[in-house]
Amino acid sequence: MTTSTSTPLARPDAAGGPDGAREVLVGVDGSECGLEAVRWAAREAARREAPLRILHAAPYLGQPSADGAPPPELPRARRITAQAYTVARHTSPGVQAATEVVPGDPVPTLLRAAAGGRLVVLGSTATGAPDEYVRASVTLRVAARSPQPVVVVPRQRGTDAGRPVVAVLGVGDRDDDAAVATFAADAATRSGVGLRLLRTRSATGSWVDDADEWRERHPTLEVQTTDMPGLRGDQLLRATCPTPLLVISAGHGTLLHRDLDGPHRRLLRHCTSPMALVPPVHRPELEPREEIVALG
């Protein structure tokens, strides 16, 4: 059973934006940090001229009764998506939005939904509270295996007005740096701010290290490069935050290593700025069934 409602907030052709109409997906669970993720996702969908999909995975939903009546928990699930929709409408009235309730575990549900989108947005408490560990588990597992970039939005935010987007290069394989730089450059351009490249290892020999290539690809973007080899997690946070977006490679997850590594977990727990985790360029593809088994 899946319940969904589609509520256009803008012109019918709003999906035909520059990003090919692929949606921005935001997962909600009824928490305040989830609503903060909705606000960020609604603004990002507006910047991309893309539709917004608000999804609530509800493992607590029971089966319909024998007479076909919906499960008694369904009103609770619909209240969660209705509240999220209202927040999205108030944040970006021009965005085309849809809500959906899907019974089942959040991780495989979000991963299946991510395959048809362009971006996944999730909230994070980043407070150390006991409920953080439940939500962090979902965030870590989705970010580690998502086929699309995942943006994690913290509840506690620093002031980032006018500050540049920051891309951290040197995490994962060298081939991943170009993907991270491209995502960050596009985000900075859409937001009308500059870009800071923070290199944690020697040059890769790709276009990312070529200032002339940057000017050709992004002629209006102000790009600053800083070399900080061997940067630790705490140093990275001090060097980058606050920022409107911190962009970093998600590294490599496998069937035997289902979550992100220690440095990523530390960043997710302590970062007070939205953080985008970009999938690695070379990742062994899994069949959908294998993906769910690996994460179950």
Residue 42: name the closest of 90, 77, 78, 1 by CA.
90
Q: Are 55 and 109 spatial neighbours (Cβ–Cβ below 8 Å)?
A: yes
Query: Is there a single domain that holds both residue 131 and residue 239?
Result: no
In a domain, 173, yes or no: yes
Q: 279: domain range? A: 165-295
Mean pLDDT of 192-201: 92
pLDDT at 14 > cutoff 60: no
| pLDDT tens track for 20-76 | 458 999 999 999 999 999 999 999 999 999 999 999 999 988 776 667 777 888 999
Domain final position from 110, 129, 154? 154
Q: What are phi and psi of 251, to 5 degrees?
A: 75, -155
Mean pLDDT of 153-174: 83
In a domain, 279, yes or no: yes
What per-residue confidence (pLDDT) applies to 287? 43
Distance CA 49, CA 46 (A): 5
Query: Is there a single domain that holds both residue 51 and residue 174?
Result: no
Burial class (CB in 10 A: 0-12, 13-18, 19+), 149: buried
Query: Is there a single domain that holds both residue 27 and residue 105?
Result: yes
Query: Is there a single domain that holds both residue 203 and residue 121?
Result: no
Question: For the chain, what is the largest distance between any 2 Cα atoms, rounded to a whole number of angstroms?
Answer: 68
What per-residue confidence (pLDDT) applies to 228? 86
**What token pair was written down for 133?**
């560990």
Q: How many domains does the chain have?
A: 2
**What token pair was written down for 196?**
């800071």
Burial class (CB in 10 A: 0-12, 13-18, 19+), 289: exposed
The CATH number linked to 280 is: 3.40.50.12370
The CATH number linked to 41 is: 3.40.50.620
Domain final position from 154, 177, 211? 154
Q: Cis omega before residue 147 (within 30°)? A: no
